[in-house]
Structure 1
Amino acid sequence: MNTALPEAVLFDLDGTLIDTAPDFYAVINQLLAEHQRPPISYAFLRHYVSNGARAMIGAAFELAEQDDLYDQLHPRMLELYLQHLGVDTKPFPGIPSLLDWLGEQQIPWGIVTNKPECYTTPLMRGLDLQPPPGTVICPDHVRDKKPHPEALFLACKELNCSPERSIYIGDHARDIEAGRRAGMQTIAVSYGYLSEGDDINSWQSDFQAHHANEIKPILETLYSNR
């Protein structure tokens, strides 16, 4: 067992650190109403949040992969999301106390997300998580987004830590792939936005957490406080 403190703990954003599904639910149903379509259920939408705006639109409107309607719906959805940004979004239960513990242990933490900076920055400002992240890496900051490990390498550089002594936590197979390709320890979480048919056991993560409260004990088993 590694007896050194972790140099850094990095999180995916949507579905891992914060629950953005309620905001997307309001936005998608507003978009459906604008097109005289019936609303979808919250439970249905949660399966598509981690796969991005196109996936949510496609599922809600039952669109084929290359449907021309995407070009009309996609910019409107993003416009609505900017107007509704952070209204109902909250950290997942257990995350605030986990961040408190990281702060007490003086362990730097950061965010590596595929969410564009124009949404991430105002959202993080509104949430005011404490202690604040030492770095927030969005796809705007790199050439290749996850599952490519470039963003994780950049986060480690900004935190002055080594990838092999760092941990990445995510709710999607691409998060775990990115972490593994960066040489990090990985924790796959199932409390976020798993798609139907997702098998978290197939992601080859080092650990799994089914509630955010389970992350701290995993970290404590990996690294000594002394």
Structure 2
Amino acid sequence: MTRQPSAVLFDLDGTLIDTAPDFIRCLNELRAFHSLEALPPEFIRRSVSNGARAMIRIGFGLEQHQPGYLELHTAFLDRYEAGVAVETTLFEGMDELLRSLEARGIPWGIVTNKPVRFAAPLIQALGLDKRCATLICPDHVAERKPHPESLLLACQRAGAEPEKAVYVGDHERDIEAGRNAGMRTIAVRYGYIEEPETVDLWNADQVVNTVSDLAKLLQ
């Protein structure tokens, strides 16, 4: 990266932290409650970025308009809220990356489509709440990503100019949101990507394979 960014903003699930183990645990516990066998972790993992709706779709074959969906969706979210950080961790190497940003005086923040009901206790449990410059969830804005509103609000709260800031994400909507906000964008292949072969088509400014690659790029 040719210049020091004014701020580095991260998507949450699949970019900054590995929430998949708790999604996998909650979905398979709910399936077990309904006398269904556990699904393979990797099958669930690649859909985590699409949230609870995707979990009910792959776990029970139901869409929002179908009978029984709402009860399962509510049960999944209640189960997840009760154990939001049981197995969730920062991705390996991410703490060092964040400390490097902090040491250089570069504010970092989180912009996620995860509701604050889950995101706030999660980052508190991981000890990130006192470190990040801002946490922006759908509750804080009128429009979700890929609309740029949440990213622009995060830049404002971090005291950063959007055109000098960076947004890092593992979903096409993240990259689209970053572009819409006039930010530089980085797509991460290590995240929860349903179709890995499409990452190069997202028009990110850079694509990285690992957290180590991301850290080098942000140096």
Normalising to structure 2: TM-score of the pair?
Answer: 0.96
1:24 offset after TM fit, Å?
A: 0.6
Is 1:125 aligned to residue 114 of structure 2? no
> Could you tell me how far 1:63 is from its partner in structure 2?
2.4
Structure 1: stretches of 5+ with no match in the other structure: 221-226
C-alpha distance in structure 2 between counterparts of 1:159 and 1:18, whole Å: 20
Tell me which residue corresponds to 1:150.
Answer: 149
Could you give the per-residue CA deviations for residues 120-174 of structure 1, whole angstroms, max 9, x where no partner exists? 1111111003871000000000000101100000000101111000000000000
Is it true that 1:19 corresponds to 2:18 in the alignment? yes
When residues 197 and 95 of structure 1 are mapped into structure 2, their CA distance, relative to the original with a 3 A threshold, is closer
Find the counterpart in structure 2 of residue 224 from structure 1. none
Aligned to 2:41: 42
CA-to-partner distance for each residue in 1:22-70, whole Å, 9 max, x for gaps? 0011100111111111110101001110111011111111225632221
1:217 positional shift: 1.6
Alpha-carbon distance between aligned partners in 2 of 1:74 and 1:20, rounded to the nearest angstrom: 18
8 A Cα contact 1:13 1:112, kept in partner: yes
The DSSP-based 3-state class of the residue aligned with 1:52 is helix
Aligned to 1:194: 193
Aligned to 2:161: 162
Match of 1:199, SS?
A: helix
Shift of the 92–36 alpha-carbon distance from structure 1 to 2, 3 Å rule, reads same
> Matched residues in 2 for 1:43 and 1:107: separation?
34
Q: What TM-score results when the alignment is normalised by the length of structure 1?
A: 0.93
- CA RMSD after TM alignment: 1.5
| Residue aligning to 1:183 | 182
State how far apart, in whole Å, the 1-side matches of 2:199 and 2:97 are. Answer: 22
Q: How many angstroms apart in 1 are the aligned matches of 2:63 and 2:98?
A: 41
Q: Distance in 1 between matches of 2:113 and 2:63?
A: 23
How many angstroms does 1:208 deviate by? 0.8
Residue 71 of structure 1 pairs with residue 70 of structure 2: yes
Structure 2: distance between partners of 1:92 and 1:197: 19
Shift of 1:82: 1.0
Check the 8 A contact 2:53/2:64 in 1, yes or no. no
Gaps of 5+ in 2: none
**1:115 maps to which residue?**
114
1:20: how far off?
0.4
Q: Do 1:100 and 1:131's aligned partners in 2 also have CA atoms closer than 8 Å?
A: no
Q: In the alignment, residue 217 of structure 2 is paired with which amino acid?
A: I
- Measure the CA separation in 2 of the matches of 1:18 and 1:197: 19
Partner AA of 1:87 in structure 2? V
Q: Identity over aligned residues, as a percent? A: 48
Contact 1:18–1:90 at 8 Å: present in 2 too? Answer: yes
| Partners of 2:129 and 2:32 in 1: CA distance | 37
